[in-house]
Amino acid sequence: MKNIFVCFLFVFFLPLFGCSKDLAGNQKNPWHHWEGTFRNPPNSISREVSVFDRLKFFSSLLLARNGSLELGALEEHVLGSEEALSQLAASAESNSITWIGHSTFLVRINGLTILTDPIFSDRASPLSFAGPKRRALLNINIKNLPLIDVVIVSHSHYDHLDTRTLDALPGKESMTAVVPLGLGKFFTDRGFVDVREVDWYDEVIVDTLKVTAYPAVHWSNRTPFDVNETLWMSYGFSSGGTSIFHTGDTDIHEAVFLEVGEHMSKNHNGCDIGLMSIGAYSPESFMKGAHMTPESGVKLGRQIGCSRLIPMHWGTFRLSLEPFFEPRNRFQKAAGSQAHAMRIGETLLID
């Protein structure tokens, strides 16, 4: 049992949060391509996590998982399956956005259907028997989804790139997958025919949909041996006058997202809805350089210029130490009338 536990920490938790790398050395163009790997934009918040801090965090997380969760009124956070499926069906011909959970959204705009960072598995883990378990149960399953036109994945971590979900998705022969540099093989190996690997600021056109890959302050890997060998990104997409920004996983940056906002304004007619990653920030000393606080999520959304802000990357899996509902509550307080905190399974019509 001890060996299984140690192996689990090595395989899952080390890849999830990773190690900092020295960015000194020969610079290449573009900046984020570095010695066969990738790195964050200049002047990004750096991650400096000691072995002691790492062990302390994982021990605290393990105890938190085994202890009682501060779930509160979980039933108010998750729609019943019947209601979730009813809302999904009723919006079939409308511009809409449905929160599946975590960073997974089903977006329908201008007759096209987009699926973001899809994870339908019970655990955000390479293992089926261990790792962060879904706390808010799925009320919309893969079999309930309409045919997907475009799937977009922000980076390689297990709570965003779930190979069990990719294996199960129907319609791979007609679906376009937009993925960061280095991740295409995960999709072609699973039968996806149209796979577009993108660098920051690359654009992909699918019918009337325009997708732009944008920078993020994060990192990537699947094992301890492939740190930063694939790129990570945020992204914006638009069609028919509706535009949406998805942060992926990122921390705040004083300049990068102002530039992204300017690009969104010129190339996507602004940002109607920002999907903001606001969970997995505690302790902040451990998570900085990878995840935002709720207040930083609001700041980033305003840097982009988004009219409405929807929090994500919270309320689904326990990945850190903050109380379950704290990210949502802090986000709503900071964002005020701009915030729309969705329930899992909820479908929001886009005006």
Structural domains in the chain? 74-349 (3.60.15.10)
The per-residue pLDDT for 72 is 54
**Res 188 pLDDT > 90:** yes
C-alpha span between 298 and 311 (Å, rounded): 9
Tokens of 329: 């509550």
pLDDT band (50, 70, 90) for residue 27? very low
C-alpha span between 283 and 236 (Å, rounded): 29
pTM value is 0.91
SS3 category, 10: helix
The per-residue pLDDT for 56 is 75
**Res 48 pLDDT > 70:** yes
Higher pLDDT, residue 307 or 60: 307
User: What are the backbone angles phi and psi of residue 179, rounded to the nearest 5°?
Assistant: -140, 155
Q: What whole-number percentage of the chain has pLDDT above 70?
A: 89
The per-residue pLDDT for 61 is 75
Handedness of CA 291, 295, 298, 299 (dihedral sign): negative
Q: What is the mean pLDDT of the chain?
A: 90
Provide mean pLDDT across the span 198-207. 98
The per-residue pLDDT for 235 is 98
Higher pLDDT, residue 64 or 242: 242
Strands 203-206 and 104-109: unpaired
CA distances from 133 to 57, 85, 120, 292 (A): 18, 23, 11, 22
Question: H or E stretch including 309?
Answer: strand 306-312
C-alpha span between 216 and 214 (Å, rounded): 7
